[in-house]
Amino acid sequence: MTGAPRIALVGGTGAVGRTFLELIAQRGFETSSIRLIASARSAGQVLPVPGGAEAVVEDLATCDFAGVDLAFFSAGTPISAEHAPRAAAAGALVVDNTNAFRMDPDSPLVVPQVNGHLLAERPKSGIVANPNCSTIPLARLLKPIQERYGLRRVTVSTYQAASGGGQSGIDELRADTAARLADPAAPAPGNSRFGPGLAFNVVPAIDRFLEHGGTLEEQKMRQESRRILGLDGLDLTATCVRVPVVNGHSEAVVIDTERAADAAEVAALLAGQEEVRVWTEGFPTPRTVTDQPDLVHVGRVRTDPENANRLLLWLVADNLRIGAALNALQIAEKAVSHGIVGGAL
């Protein structure tokens, strides 16, 4: 018998970290203790944590992970690459929300609704990778379609919110919008994380460009979808675009199937999936799904009138929750249920 796990949250002062703490309270996830860990500039802050307690933010550079059962990392790929193995070596099961370990064969890449069975055993590395914020909702819809109709090709265009760039991305969008409302000719923000600036704009460039002309974000969606679905040869092409939305990623998806699909049957199939809402009237948008932020919202389900093997749909999901913190917490819930995470008695 073990007690509730002792948790460390690296990046606990950021947008995803704060969302994670909200979800712990909302979902009633039992913990023995919660430690908040961040950079030296945040160390020393005293912040509330679920259960009515407070935690003093610790400096990641000097913190000791001894006694931690679950460590959540959401502070950037370089930080995870350096410190997540240290936490795992100290005995913690690490759930990492960066690109650092997503292709590591010793670290499973998990969407619990799709391949949660991988959490039946503790990973060799001690690390579970949390997928990309756009990959997670897409994989949750592709899995049942794959099982029913087979997949030949997937083509997706994403419309990703500023919150995908963290709290600083949200702050920049708001400041840039205010500046351009006051002066439409105002220059783009200096050192913008969104290139030419995001206010009243769309930017078809997320993460760095690769030699072949695509971006790392687009490559992540292909590689991660293949790994999560167990389809090494899946033909998936993505174009990832940042849009002036505070929170909530959207995707337009074209799916070429092995067998002819019926739109009504597909809608019913998706509606039967865990935590998925299919809109039969109207369509979801980032502004219309805020009252159900823990669901993948699907609309405009249809087939190509000239090709019954081509399915089209629109999805919207809260990227801070479904695309990051919620998926990470659901990984933890399943890990605890499988008994691969201990806790203090």
33 and 71 Cβ atoms separated by less than 8 Å: no
The catalytic residues are: 133, 249
pLDDT of residue 188: 85
Q: How many CA atoms lie within 13 A of 203 on its CB side?
A: 22
239 and 207 Cβ atoms separated by less than 8 Å: no
CA dihedral of 196, 200, 201, 207, whole degrees rounded to 10: 70
CA separation for the pair 204, 146 (Å, rounded):
28
Q: At what angle do helices 135-149 and 216-229 cross, to 10 degrees?
A: 40
Q: Which of 145, 138, 142 is nearest to 251 (CA)?
A: 138
Rg of the chain over Cα atoms, rounded to whole angstroms, equals 20
86 and 76 Cβ atoms separated by less than 8 Å: no
Boundaries of every domain in the chain: 6-131+324-338, 135-161+202-318
Q: Does domain 135-161+202-318 have CATH number 3.30.360.10?
A: yes
Q: Tell me the pTM.
A: 0.96
Q: Which residues are annotated as a binding site for phosphate?
A: 102
pLDDT of residue 2: 60
Where does residue 211 rank: exposed (0-12), middle (13-18), buried (19+ CB within 10 A)? exposed
Q: What percent of the chain has pLDDT over 90?
A: 94
Secondary structure letter of residue 324 according to DSSP: I
Is 145 in a helix, a strand, or coil? Answer: helix
Q: Which residues are annotated as a binding site for NADP(+)?
A: 13-16, 41-42, 163-164, 319
pLDDT digits (tens, 9 = 90+) for 5-56: 999 999 999 999 999 999 999 999 999 999 999 999 999 999 999 988 999 9
Average pLDDT for residues 328-338, to the nearest whole number?
A: 96
Q: How far is CA 176 from CA 127, 162, 248, in A?
A: 38, 12, 19
End-to-end CA distance of the chain: 8
Q: Which two tokens stand for residue 307?
A: 């090709």
pLDDT of residue 1: 37
Q: Which residues are annotated as a binding site for substrate?
A: 160, 242
Backbone angles phi, psi at 100, to 5 degrees: -65, -35
pLDDT digits (tens, 9 = 90+) for 79-121: 999 999 999 999 999 999 999 999 999 999 999 999 999 999 9
Average pLDDT for residues 145-154, to the nearest whole number?
A: 98
Give the CATH number of domain 6-131+324-338; options: 3.40.50.720, 3.20.20.70, 3.40.50.1400, 2.60.40.10: 3.40.50.720
Q: Which of 202, 198, 238, 241 is nearest to 221 (CA)?
A: 238
Q: Which residues are annotated as a binding site?
A: 13-16, 41-42, 102, 160, 163-164, 242, 319
pLDDT of residue 343: 66
CA separation for the pair 323, 345 (Å, rounded):
32
pLDDT digits (tens, 9 = 90+) for 200-241: 999 999 999 999 999 999 999 999 999 999 999 999 999 999
pLDDT digits (tens, 9 = 90+) for 274-298: 999 999 999 999 999 999 999 999 9
